[in-house]
């Protein structure tokens, strides 16, 4: 039986680190541009972070979320987000915070309920309604930032104990690059930045870390095996040896996310776009951020071995 050609040949010898200076320069530009975009243009914060009204309803049959979203979106209430919760007949409606006091928020609920009553008649039950004020939304934003910082900090500690401090620094710089580039993408495109986006960023951290650890583990093995090999050549060898696994993992993840972008609907679109970007930028940063930093931090071939004891005379 004829064997199918491999996606990445076993004898691949791509000189990735030959272009590390260009890649690092480009990455610095991307990170700085992301910071400037966030400071100047800001983020399109969702209801989770800006405050608004939550309205949970239950219908007698599975509702058409697209039609319901179109109905409520045409009421002039600003941003309206819908998602299924629990049972397929339960829908959580988020309405952007209205200008004014609590009376303005109650008026928005009344307008939305009137429109839903006209569409569903008596076949709808209002289970709860609540107002998310600016204080709660500010706490959510703070908790989201704190969760990201804690995740990066724990990564640093894990890699410091598992490998050497150079690996930990390389991985954390890689993660900071990925997070900054992702936030910059949301600022540039105006995609809604909400709690789902924070979940996507945390998932990107996990994905990028997994990819980075695989490469670093091979680097450590090759440091013990090829003690006299120049570090740049050894890093290129390690990246090429793990490239089939990296490409296959990224490709299959990309296909699954692409299906979600096309068929998943508006509710998770921001999450899936962030994840697709994270797969691409995470693979890039492992090669062109994490690995070159090991060179600049003077990783030595004997860094993972205990110092040899003198032989007694």
Provide the pLDDT for residue 28: 92
Distance between first and last Cα of the chain? 62
Q: Where are the alpha helices (DSSP H) in the chain?
A: 20-40, 47-50, 65-73, 102-120, 134-162, 165-189, 195-225, 231-263, 269-285, 291-296
Torsion over CA: 117, 119, 121, 122 (sign):
negative
pLDDT at 15: 85
Spatial separation of the C-alpha atoms in residues 213 and 219, rounded to whole Å? 10
Q: Which pLDDT score, from 0 to 100, does residue 33 have? A: 93
Alpha carbon 265 to its chain centroid, in Å, reads 18
Q: What's 17's DSSP letter?
A: G
The answer to whether residues 264 and 137 touch, using CB atoms and an 8 Å cutoff, is no
Domains of the chain (ranges; CATH) run 16-43+137-296 (1.20.1640.10), 52-132 (3.30.70.3400)
Find out whether 171 and 282 touch, Cβ atoms under 8 Å. Answer: no
Identify which of 240, 221, 214 has the alpha carbon closest to the alpha carbon of residue 301.
Answer: 221
> Cα dihedral angle (173, 174, 179, 183), rounded to 10 degrees?
90
DSSP 3: P
pLDDT, residue 31, reads: 92
Query: Bridge partners of 95?
Result: 53, 80
Pairing of strands 44-45, 192-193: parallel
Instruction: Please tell me the predicted confidence (pLDDT) of residue 283.
Output: 86
pLDDT at 309: 46
Q: CA angle, corner 278, sides to 81 and 160, nearest 5?
A: 125
Helix (H) or strand (E) holding 83: strand 80-84
Q: What separation in angstroms does the CA of 224 have from each of 60, 63, 85, 236, 299?
A: 66, 61, 53, 15, 12
Query: What pLDDT score does 6 carry?
Result: 61
Q: Can you give the pLDDT of all 313 residues of the chain as single tens digits?
A: 455 456 566 677 888 888 888 988 999 999 999 999 999 988 887 777 777 777 788 887 777 777 888 888 888 777 777 777 666 778 878 777 777 667 777 788 888 888 888 877 767 777 777 776 666 666 777 777 787 788 777 877 777 777 777 888 888 888 889 889 999 998 888 887 877 888 888 888 888 888 888 888 888 888 888 888 888 888 888 888 888 888 888 888 888 888 888 876 666 777 888 888 888 888 888 888 888 888 888 775 444 444 444 444 4
The distance of Cα 88 from the centroid of its chain, to the nearest Å, equals: 27
Q: How far is residue 103's CA from residue 230's CA, in Å, rounded to a whole number?
A: 70
Strand partners, 82: 93
What pTM was computed for the model? 0.72
Closest-CA residue to 78 (of 105, 114, 113, 59): 105
pLDDT at 29: 93
């Amino acid at each position: 039986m004829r064997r199918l050609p491999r996606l990445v040949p076993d004898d691949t010898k791509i000189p990735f680190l030959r272009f590390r200076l260009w890649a690092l320069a480009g990455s610095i530009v991307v990170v700085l541009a992301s910071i400037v975009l966030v400071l100047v243009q800001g983020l399109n914060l969702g209801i989770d972070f800006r405050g608004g009204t939550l309205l949970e309803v239950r219908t007698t049959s599975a509702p058409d979320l697209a039609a319901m979203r179109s109905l409520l979106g045409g009421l002039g209430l600003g941003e309206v987000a819908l998602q299924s919760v629990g049972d397929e007949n339960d829908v959580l409606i988020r309405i952007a915070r209205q200008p004014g006091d609590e009376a303005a928020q109650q008026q928005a609920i009344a307008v939305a309920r009137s429109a839903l009553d006209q569409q569903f008649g008596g076949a709808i039950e209002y289970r709860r309604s609540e107002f998310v004020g600016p204080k709660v939304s500010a706490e959510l934003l703070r908790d989201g930032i704190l969760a990201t910082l804690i995740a990066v900090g724990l990564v640093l500690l894990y890699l410091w104990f598992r490998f050497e401090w150079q690996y930990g620094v390389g991985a954390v710089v890689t993660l900071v690059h990925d997070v900054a580039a992702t936030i910059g993408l949301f600022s540039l495109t105006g995609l809604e930045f909400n709690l789902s986006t924070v979940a996507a960023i945390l998932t990107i951290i996990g994905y990028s870390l997994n990819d980075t650890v695989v490469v670093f583990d091979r680097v450590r093995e090759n440091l013990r095996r090829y003690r006299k090999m120049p570090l740049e050549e050894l890093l290129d060898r390690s990246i090429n040896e793990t490239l089939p696994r990296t490409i296959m993992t990224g490709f299959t993840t990309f296909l699954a996310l692409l299906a979600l972008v096309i068929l998943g609907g508006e509710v998770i679109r921001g999450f899936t776009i962030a994840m697709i970007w994270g797969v691409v930028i995470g693979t890039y940063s492992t090669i062109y951020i994490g690995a070159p930093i090991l060179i600049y931090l003077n990783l030595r071939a004997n860094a993972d071995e205990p110092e040899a004891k003198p032989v007694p005379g």
